[in-house]
Amino acid sequence: CLQVKAFVMQDIPLYHNLVMKHIPGADPELVLLNHYYEELDRIALTDMTRSEINELLEKLGFYKKAQPEDEVPEEFRFAPAKDSPFKDERPFKSSMSTVDTENASSESNPEVKHTDL
């Protein structure tokens, strides 16, 4: 749990389109959302190390800044989505995720999972 706390305190501010939503007493999860804030997937973070969480976000295509105040390059503005949601109407392009500590079903539809990667 200390690994997840270190990630939350030190790493989340470096990621573009990653938002922390704290729910007291709940287990930490990464919740992947599309441009319409519809849930695509949930990934439990409780048993992951800080480096494993960072590796996961890199694989998912999140842009990580060197410093929290750094500008995000234009090509990464919608990361991890590949481009703007306004160029077409495909509803399953991931644009933002939250680290959520809400307890919920861990079921996911493999047909929907990470379709923009």
Tens digits of residue pLDDT in 39-50: 999 999 999 999
The reply to whether the predicted model has a pTM over 0.85 is no
Average pLDDT, the chain: 80
Q: Is the pLDDT of residue 91 over 90?
A: no
Provide the H-helix boundaries in 28-111: 50-60
Contacts of 7 (CB under 8 A, 6+ apart): 45, 50, 53, 54
Question: Which of 102, 66, 80 has its CA nearest to residue 18?
Answer: 80
Quick one: average pLDDT of 104-111?
42
Out of 3.40.30.50, 3.90.330.10, 3.90.79.10, 3.30.70.20, select the CATH number for domain 2-76: 3.40.30.50
Q: What is the DSSP secondary structure assignment for residue 8, as one 8-state letter? A: I
Quick one: average pLDDT of 6-30?
93
A 10 A CB-CB count for 86 gives 8
Q: Is the pLDDT of residue 110 over 80?
A: no
For 38, how many CA atoms within 13 A lie in the half-sphere containing its CB?
A: 10
Banded pLDDT at 7 (limits 50, 70, 90):
very high
Domain boundaries, the chain: 2-76
3-state secondary structure of 40: strand
